[in-house]
Amino acid sequence: MKIFFRQSPCHFDADDEIEQKKLSIREELLEAKHALEIAYSGFDNVTDPDLIDCYIYEVNAVMKRYKFLLEQAAKNNLLPEETYNETYHNLTLTN
């Protein structure tokens, strides 16, 4: 059996890299938002003091990650300015 490999030159396009970065930030924002919803849900459904503490730490950690990603998205012009300000303001009020 013969196997043929086609070698094509590898081209790195700066625009492709920027688009990949933007896509990655959007995906991570969605994942962080989902993780935040799960953490809040877990917090709402536990009664054990140790688990309550655990979920408080989890909510705070995910919230910080979400804020960081929002800042990155705003810096890369992935969010409208009013969306960023409203979301960031709401997150700041809950902390």
Q: What is the pLDDT of residue 56?
A: 94
| Residue 1 reports pLDDT greater than 60 | no
pLDDT in tens, 6-44: 655 555 566 666 667 777 888 899 999 999 999 999 999
- Write down the pLDDT at residue 54: 94
Burial 52-77 (b: 16+ CB within 10 A, else e): eeebeebbeebbebbbebbebbbeee
Say whether pTM exceeds 0.85. Answer: no
